[in-house]
C-alpha cells in the first residue's frame, strides 16, 4: 500500500508533536488548510509543501514526492558504455589491437581536454597600422 501525501504529512506532523493549528501557524496558513491537505481534499502549493518540509525538519522532497514533484527518488541511472567498453566488448579484436585502440583513444582524449584546462594565448590585435 502506498502512502498518500495526507498520510505522510499527518505522520510527520505527529512525530514532531505538532497540532494542525501549530503547523498551520508556522507555515502561514489556516488550520483548516492543513486538515484538508491531510484528508486529501485539497493539495498545497509547491511553496507550502517545501515550507512544511522545512518546518518539520524533513529532507527536501520527502512530502513533495507524494504529489509528483521534488528531487528524484530513483537511483541514478547507470553510466552509458564508453569507447573503451566497446573496444573490450568487440570479440573480433585481438589483444594487441585492443591495446593499440585503447592507447590511441586515451591519447586523443587527453588531446581534447576542455579549453579551461589549457593555458590560453592572448588574441592577436586586429587594429590596423596606418599605411
* The CA-based dihedral angle spanning residues 42, 47, 52, 55, taken in that order and rounded to the nearest 10 degrees: -160
- Strands (E) across 37-96 are located at none
pLDDT value for 41: 96
| Domain range list for the chain | 5-67, 83-113
- Across the range 102-120, mean pLDDT stands at 65
pLDDT value for 42: 96
Fold of 5-67: 434 Repressor (Amino-terminal Domain) (1.10.260)
pLDDT value for 105: 81
**pLDDT, averaged across the chain:** 82
Question: Which three cell numbers mark 1?
Answer: 500500500
Taking phi over 0 as left and psi of -120 to 50 as alpha, with beta for the rest, 97 belongs to alpha
Using pLDDT thresholds of 50, 70 and 90, give the confidence band for residue 119. Answer: very low
pLDDT value for 121: 44
The pTM (predicted TM-score) of the whole model is: 0.54
Q: Minimum mean pLDDT among 8-22, 26-40, 88-102, 104-118: which range?
A: 104-118
Taking phi over 0 as left and psi of -120 to 50 as alpha, with beta for the rest, 122 belongs to beta
119 contacts: CB under 8 Å, gap ≥ 6: none
Q: What is the pLDDT of residues 7-63, one digit of tens each?
A: 999 999 999 999 999 999 999 999 999 999 999 999 999 999 999 999 999 998 999
Amino acid at each position: 500500500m502506498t502512502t498518500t501525501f495526507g498520510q505522510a504529512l499527518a505522520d510527520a506532523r505527529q512525530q514532531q508533536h505538532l497540532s494542525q493549528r501549530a503547523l498551520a501557524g508556522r507555515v502561514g496558513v489556516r488550520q483548516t488548510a492543513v486538515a484538508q491537505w491531510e484528508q486529501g481534499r485539497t493539495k498545497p502549493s509547491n511553496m507550502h509543501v517545501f515550507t512544511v518540509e522545512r518546518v518539520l525538519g524533513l529532507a527536501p522532497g520527502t512530502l513533495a514526492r507524494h504529489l509528483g514533484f521534488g528531487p528524484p527518488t530513483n537511483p541514478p541511472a547507470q553510466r552509458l558504455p564508453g569507447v573503451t567498453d566497446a573496444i573490450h566488448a568487440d570479440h573480433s579484436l585481438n589483444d594487441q589491437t585492443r591495446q593499440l585502440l585503447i592507447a590511441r583513444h586515451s591519447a586523443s582524449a587527453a588531446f581534447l581536454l576542455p579549453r579551461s584546462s589549457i593555458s590560453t594565448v592572448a588574441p592577436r590585435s586586429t587594429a590596423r597600422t596606418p599605411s
